[in-house]
Chain A
C-alpha cells in the first residue's frame, strides 16, 4: 500500500525562482494493483516517485509506504521498496552476482538467506550464464535483468518503477512489462510512471494523470473513458492537460 498525502516538492531555481515540481499530490495505490502515473516530461512524475522512495524529501505533505512514513522512517520505507528507473545504473566493476549481493546485504539479509535468494533469482531470471561477468561487460538486456534482480533481492512488498522502459529496445521493454505484471500478480503494490499511452492501457489498474506537478484526474481506464467521453487514452490525456498547457504557454 502507498498513500500519498498532499505530497509537495519545491525547488529553488536561480533564474526562475521557486519551482513547484510536485504540488499537493494525493493518491492511494493498493496491493495487487498497478498504479500508473501518466504525464509529459517535466510533469513531476520522477520527483513524486523519488519522494515515495525517500530519495528526495518532501517540502510539504507526506506519504506512507507499507505502513512507514517517508519522513519519519525513510530507511524502513526503502527496505520495503524496490526502485527501478532507467537512471538507476549498475556498478561497472562489480559482477552481476556481487552487485545483487551488495544490495541484499544493505537490506540486512544474512549470508545464508542471501545465498539462497540470489541462487533462486538468478535461476528464475535465467542469469546464471553471466553471473560472474562484470556489469560493464553486460549487454543492455543482461543489465536490465541484473537491475531487476537488484530490486527483487530483498523481496519488497512495494515496487516503484520510474519510466523503466525509457530508451530500451522492444524486446527488453517487453520483458520489463512482463516483470511489472508479475509483481502485481504476486500481490505487490506497484506504481509506475510513463509517458507511453500503450503501456498504461496494457498494464494499469488505476491511472493518474499528472501535469505541472498536479494530479489532475485519476481512475480506472473505464472510468476515465466515461468521464471524458473518449475511447482513446491519448485523447483523454490531451483533454485533461490542455487547459494547463495553455496556461503554461501563456506564461
Chain B
C-alpha cells in the first residue's frame, strides 16, 4: 500500500508537471538551448571579433622620424598596419579611440643607430582595449625585428659569428594531453557550475508549485483529506522534484556535449589553418561521471527546496525565500573555478566538493578516495535534508500557517 501510494502521487505529479509550461521551460527548454547559445553562439561571436581585429590593418600614427627614413621604411613595410602622419592632437585621438596607437620616434634616430647611442622609442596605447593592444603588439614585434637586424649587422661588422647572440634556446613543451590541460581545466569548472545552477533551477518551480502552490490553490486540503499518509505524499512530491532537477542536469550535460562537439568541428578549420583553438569537449565517460555525482546533490537540493517551499503560504513567498538561495548555491560552484585542488577537508564542503570533483572528472582524473568521501558526505547531507523536509511537511503549523 505504502509504495503504491508514493507511486500514485508521483505519477499524478509527473502528469501535471509535463502539462505545466513553466516546468517544461525550466527543465527541458533552457538546458537544451542555453548551451548551444552560450558556447556556439557566444563563442563564435568572440572568436570572430578577435580574428577580425587581428586581420584588420589598424592605423598607426607616427610622431617624428622625419630625419630617420630607415626606421620609417621598416615601419611602413610592417604587414597589416597603416602608417599615417601624426596630428598635434594625437593623444586625444587615442583616448577617444579614433586611433589605436601612436608611436613616437626621437629625432635623429637613424643617426644615433649609426653612432651606437642608446635611444628610447615610445608606443602610446589604450591599455586593455583590444584594438589598441593588438596594434601595439604588432608594432612591438616590428620594432623588435628591426632592433635584432641592427644588432646582427653590428655583430657581423665585428666579424663575430651570429650564434654569439643566441647561445641557447628555451622551449616549453606540454606533456599533458591537450584535452586534459589548459582551457579544459577551466571548462571542467564551468561545466560543474552550470550543472549545479541548472540542477537547482530545474527543481525550483516544481518544489514551489507542489507545496506553497497547492496551499495557494486550495488543493492541499483536498489531498490531505485522502487516505494517503503525509510522509508518502511528500516523498512522492520529492521524487517529482528530484526527477526535474536530474532531468535538467542530464539534458544540460547532453546538450553541452553536443555543443562542444559542434564548436570543436567549427574550430577544426582554424586549427588546420595553423591557429590555436580552445580544446573543449566532454567525453561520454566524463559526462556520465558528472551526472552520477550530481544525483546526491540533486537529492540535497530537492529536499531543501521542498522544505523551504512547504513553509511558505504562497508561490511568491516561496520565491522570495528560494531565489536568494540560488546565490548561496552557486557561490561554491563559482569558487570551484578558481585553481583550487581537492583535499580531504574540501571534500566535505557541500556543493564545492562536487564542483571541484567535476572539474577533475571532466579531464579524466579519478581520485577514488575523494570520490568516495564526496559521494558519501553528499548522500548524508541529502538524507538529513530529506528527513527534515518530511518532518516539516508533517507539521500542522506549517501546512496550515495563517
Contacts and interface: CB of A to CB of B under 8 A. Distances in A.
Interface of A: 50, 53, 55-57, 75-76, 78-79, 81, 83, 85, 87-94, 98, 102-103, 105-108, 134, 150
Contacts of A94: 12, 15-16
Interface in B219-271: 219, 221-222, 224-229
A209 B1 CA distance: 40
A103 B219 contact: no
Contacts of A106: 5, 8-9, 226-228
Contacts of B167: none
Nearest to A47: B400
B226 A78 contact: yes
B161 interface: no
A95 B218 CA distance: 17
B225 A107 contact: no
Nearest to A79: B227
B163 interface: no
A85 B221 contact: yes
Contacts of B218: 87-89
Contacts of B317: none
Contacts of B16: 91, 93-94
A15 B226 CA distance: 33
Interface of B: 1, 5, 8-9, 12, 15-16, 19-20, 217-219, 221-222, 224-229, 396, 400
Contacts of B12: 91, 94, 98, 102
Nearest to B1: A108
29 contacts: A53-B225, A55-B224, A55-B225, A57-B396, A75-B227, A78-B225, A78-B226, A78-B227, A81-B225, A87-B218, A88-B218, A88-B221, A89-B218, A89-B222, A90-B222, A91-B12, A91-B16, A91-B219, A93-B15, A93-B19, A94-B12, A98-B15, A102-B12, A106-B8, A106-B227, A106-B228, A107-B227, A108-B1, A134-B19
Given A88-B221, A88-B225, A108-B227, A102 B396 contact: no
B221 A92 contact: no
A102 B8 contact: yes
B1 A83 contact: no
Contacts of A105: 8
A57 B89 CA distance: 85
Contacts of A79: 227
Contacts of A76: 227
A75 B229 contact: yes
Contacts of A98: 12, 15
Given A79-B227, A91-B16, A107-B227, A56 B396 contact: yes
A71 B12 CA distance: 28
A88 B222 contact: yes
A66 to B, nearest CB: 13
Nearest to B209: A93
Instruction: Please give me the 5 A-B residue pairs with the lowest Cβ-Cβ distance, nearest first.
Output: A89-B218, A83-B225, A88-B222, A79-B227, A93-B16
Contacts of A57: 396
A94 B229 CA distance: 21
Contacts of B221: 50, 55, 85, 87-89
B175 to A, nearest CB: 57
B226 A107 contact: yes
Contacts of B222: 88-90, 150
